Structure formats: structure tokens, C-alpha cells
Chain A
Amino acid sequence: MTAEQIIFLLTGALVLVSALMVVTVRNLLHAALWLVVALFGVAVLYAILQANFLAVVQVVVYIGAIAILFIFAVMLTRREAMEKGRQTRNNWWIPALLGLTILTGLAVLILSFPGVQRTEAVLPAGLDTVQALGTALVSPDAYVLPFEVASVLMLAALVGAVYIATVDKK
């Protein structure tokens, strides 16, 4: 086993354990912090795959913005509300069954994919992945259309948020 595989297994275990903790701990703030750990683990996985840009963006967006807003909202809830009440519903087995089915289906699908056993070619030395990504995002024969459509969608969401938040002056 190489050092990379050991790091991958440890990180994978960390992500799984912390993801499990997110849904099982009673204290909502602890759940949010476990979520941060899980998201950080995913960033480490990206870093192992040499996707530096994705790894850093994962930390900036998911930990720096989304998780912090989660925590911000959770801090405004009362403590008593978190520590009482049941954690499961009567029909918990339906989503469990659905989840298991989807997991099996995905696993079968991925294992039947011919590329799953292939080892990816090593990136040529001196390739600037960030530059390649930037060029791909704006070149017409790559991703310029999806990129622009996503931008318009984001802009619409921004305008919508501002509209909802505006106090009506009458």
C-alpha cells in the first residue's frame, strides 16, 4: 500500500464517520461542526486527486460560506429545542430502504462501467490545471454555454433575494 492510499483510506473513514455524526448527534451546533469536518475531508480528497483548485474552492465556498451560515442560523435557535424530542420517525424504514436501493444501484452501475479499473494517466509536469480550467470555461468549443447559463441563474437568484429582502416603501 502506498502512502497515498493510506491517506485516502484515513480521509475516507474520517468523512464517513463525521457524516454519520452529522445526522446522529443531538446538539445541532455539533452537527454543523461535524459537517465542517466532513466537508474538509472532501477537500483533502480533492487535494489527493491533484485538483488543487477544487480543494481550495471547497474550503472557501462550503466551509467559509455555507457551513458558517448554517452555524449562524443554528446559533439563533434555542438550546432546549435541540436536546429533546425523538430523533426518528415511525416510518424511518422507508427512506432507509430507498437509500439502500439507490446505493446498491449506483454501486452496480459504477462497477459495470468499463473505465472503473483503469488507472488514470499521470498529468504532464508543468501543466497549470487552473489555467486549463479557466480556458475551458470561456472557450466556445468547451463549457462557455453552461458557464454563462449558470451565471445568469446565479444573477437571477441574487436579484430575487434582493427583491424578497427589500422593505416595501409605500
Chain B
Amino acid sequence: MTFWNNPINFIGYWLNGILTGWHLPAAIASILLYVIGIIVLILFAMTLDIGLVWVERKVVARFQDRLGPNRIGPFGLIQPVADIIKMVIKEDITPDGADKIIYNVAPVLAATSVIVLWAILPLASTIYGVDLNVGLLFIVAAGALGTLAIIMAGWSSNNKYALLGAFRMVSNMISYEIPMVIILLIPTILANTMSVRGITQAQSGMWFAILSPLALLIFLISAIAELGRSPFDLNEAESEIVAGFHIEYTGMKFGWFYAGELLHAFTFGGFIAILFFGGYGGFFGLEKLAVLTWLNIPFVQALVFIAKATFGYWVIMWIKYSVPRIRIDHMLAFNWKFLVPLSLVVLVNTATLNKVLIVLPNWLYVLGMFGSNIVIGYATIEILRAYGRKQRKAEKIPEPQAHTQEQAV
């Protein structure tokens, strides 16, 4: 093992050597190493977060046909640093009648609920915090803490808009958690484990995105809802309730919510990569070829993972800046009448076909799983179309028609 192949573990062994060289007991040395590891992981996530501020602002500018930050540093790269300095030196205001302790704990809890997710995120085959055998449920549990933070912020601010934002967040989270939990069962069924690392390893031959594209789609939608990003950003809808739950927060306390949101989006990009695109691996067996064995180097794996996670993050940003906010009753109806039934159908289909088709040769198994998803997707669209037609007939709205140029004139 050399430094460049596997830097994190190399440094870990080196530090362990130094600590035991100081005649520290092995138990204390390993606890110290864990603490250092946790701090390094959090620092890595937060440093990445600073970069994400720049990425987010540049990408939104591109989507909206603007230039974005371009004054400080080349391509505005130093802009996030300036932003942070501004946030830290701004006046810290606590509103009258606020519940001080809860008001101050909420931003910390919001950022924590995101950072704990990094504990189970495997960056490479040898670089991961902990390999929990209940990893997928851990994602849901961390989401629950995030909801709690938003409720605390909304209630303790002593502001009606903030409270409205918190109410909306609760109805949003409680409902979109259900399709998300159902869909998380699909990688579990396909990989036979709930461990995030196990799921990554199970995809070394075939991505779950190909075995179950509908599951990927539903997970993406419910992940965006869980993030509270547009089109589901009703909890902070600036045109209706000003800024929602974080309306009263100033300076770095607002900064924690903002940083948490960006890192949360990136982390979910990472989970999309892990659950459906093979995470740090998933090269379809190519890494076994003699010329491509360098794909197994942990450092390369980490780069592959970051690239895949960034792609997921980019898709989330793409949706955020292209789709307008939807009304709350539409949002709830969409969840309960569309996503939940569809995810149940996909779950039953995957669970059954996985057992039936496993006896077939591999290519037929993949084709069968993919084909069944396409059939379900097509049937869903047909049912929706028929329902829309019925509704229009009942309300006497003319059918939408494609016009040629002459007709339009």
C-alpha cells in the first residue's frame, strides 16, 4: 500500500504507528484515531460545502442565462469565501419572544442531520465511516432529525410565516417519507442487504438503475421533496411566506441552514449514485480486465464516486431551477394518489420478478427486470391519460390539440 493509492488508510496506519509508539494503550489509540477520523470527515464535508456554494450559484446562473459570480477571483471562485466572511460578521439577531434555546439549537441540529449521513457514505472500498447493517433506515432516521430541526426553527422564531413554513414542512415530510421508504426496499431486495456498502458491491456487475429505472425516478422525486427543494420548496416559498422557517435567522445561523441544504442535496446525489449507479464501483466487470485494474485503486474509486454524486447533484439542481413550485394540495395529491400506489406496484413487481427470473441467464434477468419497469411506466402514463381525458370531459374543457402553423394563424 502506497500513499497515492490509498491516502486515508495510509495516514491512518502511520498515525496508529506513532500513537502506539508513544506507549499509548491500543484501545485509547484507536479511540483517538476514530475521533480524528470523524473530525477529518466533517472538515472534508464542510470544505466541499464551500465549493458547492460556488457550483450552485454558477449552475443556476447558466440555467437562467446569467453569468453568476464573476468578480472575485478567476470565475468568481473566491466568492464563497467572501460570502462566509460576510455571514460571520453580520449582526446576530434573536427576535423578541423567541424561545432562545430552541431557536439556537435548531440550526445546529439542521446541519448535524446532514453531516451524520456522511458516516455511512462509502467514498471508496476502503474509505467509509461505518458499515451499518441498517444503513438505508439510517438515511430515513437522519431525515427525521432534519424535520425536527425545521419544526423547532419555525416554532421558536415567534413568527407566523416561520410557523406556516414549519407546518408545510411537516405535511411534506410525513407524506414523502412513505414512497421513499418503500423505494428503499428495492435496492434492499436486489442486493439482499440494507448495508450501503453491500448495495454498492452488489452492483459491480449491473447498476440497479437499469434493473429498476422506475425506482430511481421515484427515489429522485421523494429525495427532492425530503430536501425541500423546488418544486417542493413550500416550506420556504419566498413569494408566499417570505422565507418560511428560517425567516428570522441572520448571519451564520442562517448560514448553517443554507450550508446544510446544499450539503444535503449533494449527499442525496451521493445516495442516488450509491443506490442506483454502483457508487464507487459498478464498472460492469470492466475492472477485472488487466488494462483497467487501476479502477480498483481507492483513490480512483473516490474520484469516481464524487463524479457520480456531482452528477446526481446536478440533476437535482436542474430540476430545481427548471420546474415551478407546485401548490400544496397538488403536492399531497401527487404523493398519496400517484407516488405511493406506483411505488407499491414497483415493489411487488421487483420482489416477485427477482425471485422468478433469477433462474434465467443473466442477460434475460436484466432484460426482464428492465422490461417490466417499462411496461409499468407505460401503463401508468396510459392510466393518467385516460383519467385526464375523463376529467376534461366532465368539466367540458376542450381536448388539447397539436396545431399546425396555418391553423394557429
Contact = CB atoms under 8 A, between A and B. Distances in A.
Interface stretch (A7-15, A58-66, A95-103): A58-66
B133 A64 contact: no
B147 A68 contact: yes
Interface stretch (A49-57, A110-118, A143-151): A49-57
Interface string B134-162: 10011011011101100110010000000
Contact of A64 (B99, B143, B193): B143
Contacts of A65: 144, 174
A72 B147 CA distance: 11
A52 B134 contact: yes
A75 B144 contact: no
Contacts of B134: 52-53, 56, 130
Contact of B174 (A52, A56, A68): A68
A24 interface: no
B170 A72 contact: yes
Chain B, interface SS category: helix
Q: How large is the interface on A (under 10, 10 to 19, 20 to 34, 35 or more residues)?
A: 20 to 34
B133 A128 contact: yes
B167 interface: yes
8 contacts: A29-B102, A33-B152, A36-B148, A68-B147, A72-B170, A75-B166, A128-B193, A131-B193
Contacts of A104: none
Contact of B132 (A29, A52, A75): A52
B167 A56 contact: no
Counting from the closest, the 7 A-B pairs by CB-CB distance are: A64-B144, A59-B141, A56-B137, A56-B134, A52-B134, A60-B141, A60-B140
A29 B101 CA distance: 12
B177 interface: yes
B324 to A, nearest CB: 27
B163 interface: yes
A129 B147 CA distance: 29
B133 A59 contact: no
A60 B167 contact: no
A12 B65 CA distance: 57
B196 interface: no
B119 to A, nearest CB: 12
Interface in A122-143: 128-131
Interface string A22-61: 0000000110010010000000000000001100110110
A64 B155 contact: no
A68 B174 CA distance: 9
B194 interface: yes
A57 B194 CA distance: 13
Interface of B: 99, 102, 132-134, 137-138, 140-141, 143-145, 147-148, 151-152, 155, 163, 166-167, 170, 173-174, 177, 193-194
Contacts of B99: 29
A68 B137 contact: no
Contacts of B144: 59-60, 63-65, 68
Contacts of B140: 56, 60, 64
A71 interface: yes
A68 B141 contact: no
Contacts of B143: 64
Given A56-B137, A68-B151, A71-B148, 17 more contacts: A29-B99, A29-B155, A33-B102, A52-B134, A53-B134, A56-B141, A57-B137, A59-B145, A63-B144, A64-B140, A64-B141, A64-B147, A68-B173, A72-B170, A75-B167, A128-B133, A128-B193
A56 B138 contact: yes
Contacts of A129: 133
A65 B143 CA distance: 11
A52 B133 contact: yes
Contacts of A36: 148
Contact of B151 (A52, A71, A130, A131): A71
Contacts of A68: 144, 147-148, 151, 170, 173-174
B167 A72 contact: yes
A130 B148 contact: no
Contacts of B132: 52, 56
A129 B141 CA distance: 19
A167 to B, nearest CB: 14
B103 to A, nearest CB: 12
A169 to B, nearest CB: 15
Contacts of A56: 132, 134, 137-138, 140-141
Given A64-B140, A130-B134, A75 B148 contact: no
Nearest to A128: B133
Contacts of A72: 151, 167, 170
A130 B170 contact: no
Contacts of A57: 137
A132 B229 CA distance: 38
Contact of B148 (A52, A60, A63, A131): A63
